[in-house]
Amino acid sequence: MNFRRWVTSVCLAAAFVSPLASAKFTPEQVKAVYIYRIASFVFWGADEQMNEISICAPDDEEVRDILTDITKDKLIRNKPLHISNSGCDVLYITKKESLDLIKLNPNRTISISDIQSFTELGGVVELSTLGGRIKPRVNLENVGEYTLSANFLRVAEIVGGKQ
């Protein structure tokens, strides 16, 4: 593992377990950072053909605005990030009424939410809060045409699928 990946892994792990990380920021800011960081740990089957990575947050304007700010001029594997409401590579939803968006988006879209039991409702990554800390839960049965980095899976609670 090269030094950059090691530093990234350590920073990601610290963000997932540090109670101080969320003490200085709003819940929406913390979620936006999680969404951005999780996107960097997703490897799409058609990664080479992708011109950009589109992150959607159609039902949470505040998180969408924060994502727009924190992803400005940022790249993931040399691909610019685009905050949108369509063509989603990463889909973040906050309302149960939006669960249909998982089915409407292609199998290449990773879905993320803070909805309780999201992983049982068809979602891939649930940002669950335990003891004031956000910890990602991943349902491997719901993963589509992409893979999730082992570095991310090490800090997540794995449910469903082969473990």
pLDDT given at position 162:
59
Taking the C-alpha atoms of residue 70 and residue 62, their distance in angstroms, rounded to an integer, is: 12
pLDDT at 23: 57
Question: For the residues 130-152, what does the mean pLDDT come to?
Answer: 92
Nearest CA-CA partner of 110 in 139, 84, 83, 74: 139
For the purposes of burial, counting CB atoms within 10 Å of the CB of 2, is it exposed (0-12), middle (13-18) or buried (19 or more)?
exposed
What phi and psi, each to the nearest 5 degrees, are found at residue 125? Answer: -120, 125
pLDDT value at 135 more than 80 = yes
pLDDT higher than 60, residue 15: no
Q: How confident is the model at residue 72 (pLDDT cuts 50, 70, 90)?
A: very high
Q: What is the mean pLDDT of the chain?
A: 86
Q: What's residue 47's pLDDT?
A: 80
* Domains, the chain, ordered by start: 3-159 (3.40.50)
State yes or no: pLDDT of 41 exceeds 90: yes
In sequence order, the 6+-apart residues with CB closer than 8 A to the CB of 156 are 125, 135, 136, 137, 138
- What number is the average pLDDT over the span 18-26? 60
**pLDDT for the residue numbered 18:** 44
Average pLDDT over residues 131-160: 93
Give the mean pLDDT of 60-79.
Answer: 95
Q: Tens of pLDDT along 145-157?
A: 999 999 999 999 9
pLDDT for 83-126, tens place per residue?
A: 998 899 999 999 999 999 998 887 899 999 999 999 999 999 99
